[in-house]
Structure 1
Amino acid sequence: MPFAATILLVIGWIGFHADSVWGHGGEEHGDARPQQQSSLSSGLGNGAEGDLFEAVITPSEDGSAWIYLSDLGSNAPIAHAHIEVEASGTPGWTGKGETTAAEGVYHLNWTLPPNDAVDLTLTISGVNGSDLILVQVPAVTHTQAAIDPPRWDKQRFLVPGAIIFAVVLLGWWAFGKRGKPKAMGVVAGVLSLLVAGHSHAHGGEDHGASSQEPSSVTGMANRGGTLPKASQFLLDVRTAIAASREVTQTIRLVGRAIPDPAFHARIHPQAPSRIGYDPAFPSPRSGQRVKRGQTLAVLDPVLSAMDKAGQRLSLFKGERLETTMGREMVLAPMDGQLTDVHIVPGDVVTETDVLAEIVEPDRLWVEAVLYDLSMAGRITGGKASTRQIPGAVFPLTLMGVSPKVNPENQGLHLQFAIGENSGQVKLGMPVDVYADTGVATYPVAIPRRAVLEHGGIPMVWLKVAPEKFEGRPVRLGRKTEAWVEILAGVLNGEKVVVQGHNQLNAMR
């Protein structure tokens, strides 16, 4: 009897401590409860646009606010502007934006209401004109998500109590029976069911979204995000407005820089000679500036044989008017800079050898090859650029079109004069010539540098809000050296990013 009572007590103690088995830990399986957050969190502010400017108001840590002022079209910061601020409410407030050391950033020495929305009217006067902007600042609140209080689990106490009661009742019943072994087997089976913890599942309720649906647009097409105005100023993000534009149609030609024929000289000896050495006339070097009449070389004539002296020697002596002790002085025919100098004392030269060339570096032309002969009569001028001088564009004036097809490349040679060279383009440098062929209208045109490629697909970054950007694929049409026609993807009035792409590409 004591042994059986001990067993019953142990089984009852296990039943008391047996917990129910739940299908989960009691957490909420539905969508997360929305939490109220500050509308000015993560460094973002509230912005608005006017006719000329764009303003973003961001709170500072001390309770005041910053005003970021930029140009509406280019997103360039606007400095030295006069900003008057008027706040709605009771009582209202008026003040001015104070200029700071940072370009385009102004300090608003006024504390934003912590729990009230306010409308700020900005009256802006700048170099480009005056503007009026209304910025709506919502109430700034900081609340935490409500935490459910711990729930008292009734089953943790009711179930073990019922088990203890059943153990005691069945124990007394079993010991009161004659067939104690059979009765004890029944008791053991019933106790196994009672002691075993309950398994609680659910009725098929929604557990929330387990995975995101695959997007039909992949890659850069659906990329976008926010970038605070302060970061835009720091990273020099610039934009341009898509609009209908009349552009000059061009065709691209391959060319190279050649000397201006009016400022180019090539020097040959008059007869077979040997280059002499004279300390009074040192050998010139390439790149040296020379003046007209300056001595470049001293030549000693070479006669092939004595029997050929005759008339050739007489003719030679008759033509040698500017000689010193039988030597011929080679003189510079013009002012300029020496290039391709081949004057070495002791060398024997003939009439076909070039001793030196003289050019004027600031007076160069460009020679290009045109293969579409039907376009020859439509070309009026153009522009030149080269990868060796990034960002530089040189205006070209058409000087002439050859009437002869070159037998080597089967093209017409065009010659252009370079304007405003300033010595940047060097003789022989390869250049890209964009020859003007007429005027065309692009219904939607954006700068060519705004177009990027992602996986072989052209795309652009658009600024859809003062601090929000969106990547979008586009379909391109006609192109010039500076503009491209957009057939799909961008509408007139939208702002495309033309500078700062790398920072936006890294944005998630």
Structure 2
Amino acid sequence: MERSGISVMYAINLRLLVASTALAFVANSALAHGDEDHSKDAKKPAGTAPTSAASSTPGAPGTPAALQRLADGSLFVPKSVQRQLGLRTQPARLGDLAATVELNGKVIPDPNTSGRVQAAFSGTVMPGPKGMPVTGRKVVKGEVLAWLRPVSGAIERGNQKSQLAELEAQQAIADGRVKRFEQLEGAVPQKEIEAARIERDALQKRRAFVGASINAAEPLLATATGVISASHHLVAGQIVDAREVLFEIVDPDRLAVEALAYDAGIAAALISATALAEQTALELKFVGGGRQLREQALPLLFRIVGANSMVAVGQPVKVIVRTAHELKGAPVPRAALTKVGAGETAVWVHAEAERFVARKVRHQSLDAGNVAIADGLHEGDRVVIEGAGLLSQVR
């Protein structure tokens, strides 16, 4: 009897355990899906899958597709993301293009509209009517920038003062002689009176020049109209040496570019030229080329056409010279180029509606804003011309 009662109690406990487990499972299911609406699930045909299973976030059904890199290295970019990134493409058109040559150059002031102010002798710099000139100040040709007062040693100053005293004595003698001759006019030949007057005037001028060399300051005049680009940190009272450059004046609207050509025939085949200063494109006009080698190259001079507020004197630039020779390729904007892998140059091609592929290319510059893709593209390939850098940042 006792053993049969134990069996009945065990069976009852087992049933209670199974029932509680079932209730807990139902409760968990209700909590996990309590806020979801499944009224439209029946409308979905069997076997329907998301647009791109790879683009969905694992464990989150219904999440919109996101931009990501696929296993083959290409990019999956949904249409909505393409619009957000501002991607633009253009078809590649292969054809014959003008060959170019890239030269290293730098921005220089135009020799016709620039100038320097140098010290003619050793002296002390004194402020001008508008104070000491500073970098960026606009000046007009002939304007007094500063004064240069000569400086000399004690012996030199003593000799100058001695010479001045001697000239003053000679002038006093000459003045007295002229007065006596004028009193004896008629008795003294007229030619002797004129000679005495000429000698007196010459002594007056010599005395004035010697006196000016001792104390007078010489004005430092602006040699061109423009902007002071360098003042060499001059301050009032600074002593400078003879021939020292004190101020440099340039016209920011009239600048030039000097490039070095290692092929003497470039100047003869040159059609047009542009320059690239960092991200700034410059249009150039060829002025002429030298005939004497400098650093084993011939210097070529170009004048910058248009406003040049974004470049400075001495700034290095890449000069792109268009020649009469031809090459075959597809022209694309320079912004389409990007770096992939180990620094290799590539462009992004719109292969499918939401898929982009990076193509390694070989290119040559056409001008400051465009390049020719000589290898790596096919006719009709849609190349990304805006937003290529953003695609390269996807990991």
TM-score w.r.t. the length of structure 1 is 0.50
The DSSP-based 3-state class of the residue aligned with 1:243 is coil
Q: Per the alignment, do residues 419 and 352 of structure 1 end up closer, same or farther by CA in structure 2, a change over 3 Å counting? A: same
State the match for 1:440 in structure 2. 326
State the match for 1:292 in structure 2. 141
The DSSP-based 3-state class of the residue aligned with 1:267 is strand
CA distance in 2, matches of 1:479, 1:328: 53
Query: Residues 291-315 of structure 1, C-alpha deviation per residue, up to 9 Å, x if partnerless?
Result: 233221122233534436769x977
Counterpart contact for 2:320–2:365, Cα < 8 Å: no
State the match for 1:490 in structure 2. 377
**Quick check: 1:398 aligned with 2:286?**
yes
Greater helix share, structure number: 2
Give the letter aligned to residue 247 of structure 1. Answer: L
State the match for 1:222 in structure 2. 72
Q: Per the alignment, do residues 507 and 356 of structure 1 end up closer, same or farther by CA in structure 2, a change over 3 Å counting? A: closer
CA distance in 1, matches of 2:247, 2:363: 49
Select 1:417's aligned residue among 299, 303, 310: 303
CA distance in 2, matches of 1:266, 1:483: 40
Select 1:334's aligned residue among 224, 231, 240: 224
The DSSP-based 3-state class of the residue aligned with 1:263 is coil
CA distance in 2, matches of 1:240, 1:316: 82
Counterpart contact for 1:276–1:297, Cα < 8 Å: yes
Give the letter aligned to residue 218 of structure 2. Answer: E
CA distance in 1, matches of 2:52, 2:358: 27
**Quick check: 1:263 aligned with 2:113?**
yes
Structure 1 residues not aligned, in runs of 5+: 1-33, 45-218
Query: Residues 50-77 of structure 1, C-alpha deviation per residue, up to 9 Å, x if partnerless?
Result: xxxxxxxxxxxxxxxxxxxxxxxxxxxx
- Aligned-pair identity in percent equals 27
1:378 is displaced (CA, Å) by 1.8
State the match for 1:243 in structure 2. 93
Give the letter aligned to residue 398 of structure 1. Answer: F
Q: Per the alignment, do residues 317 and 358 of structure 1 end up closer, same or farther by CA in structure 2, a change over 3 Å counting? A: farther
Q: Per the alignment, do residues 326 and 380 of structure 1 end up closer, same or farther by CA in structure 2, a change over 3 Å counting? A: same
Residues matched between the structures, number:
290
Q: Per the alignment, do residues 333 and 397 of structure 1 end up closer, same or farther by CA in structure 2, a change over 3 Å counting? A: same
CA distance in 2, matches of 1:420, 1:253: 21
1:373 is displaced (CA, Å) by 2.3
The DSSP-based 3-state class of the residue aligned with 1:307 is helix
State the match for 1:37 in structure 2. 48
1:228 is displaced (CA, Å) by 2.8
CA distance in 2, matches of 1:273, 1:425: 35
Correspondences of 1:117-136 after superposition (within 5 Å): none
Select 2:258's aligned residue among 347, 367, 373: 367
Q: Per the alignment, do residues 221 and 501 of structure 1 end up closer, same or farther by CA in structure 2, a change over 3 Å counting? A: farther
Counterpart contact for 2:99–2:327, Cα < 8 Å: no
1:502 is displaced (CA, Å) by 5.2
Counterpart contact for 1:462–1:471, Cα < 8 Å: yes
Q: Per the alignment, do residues 435 and 310 of structure 1 end up closer, same or farther by CA in structure 2, a change over 3 Å counting? A: farther
The two structures, once aligned, show a CA RMSD in angstroms of 3.7
Counterpart contact for 2:329–2:372, Cα < 8 Å: no
**Quick check: 1:348 aligned with 2:239?**
yes
Structure 2 residues not aligned, in runs of 5+: 1-44, 56-68, 168-204
1:346 is displaced (CA, Å) by 2.4
Give the letter aligned to residue 341 of structure 1. Answer: S
1:427 is displaced (CA, Å) by 1.2
Q: Per the alignment, do residues 413 and 317 of structure 1 end up closer, same or farther by CA in structure 2, a change over 3 Å counting? A: farther
Counterpart contact for 2:98–2:323, Cα < 8 Å: yes
CA distance in 1, matches of 2:134, 2:114: 17
State the match for 1:378 in structure 2. 269
Counterpart contact for 2:230–2:247, Cα < 8 Å: yes
Counterpart contact for 2:116–2:223, Cα < 8 Å: no
CA distance in 2, matches of 1:451, 1:477: 9
TM-score w.r.t. the length of structure 2 is 0.62
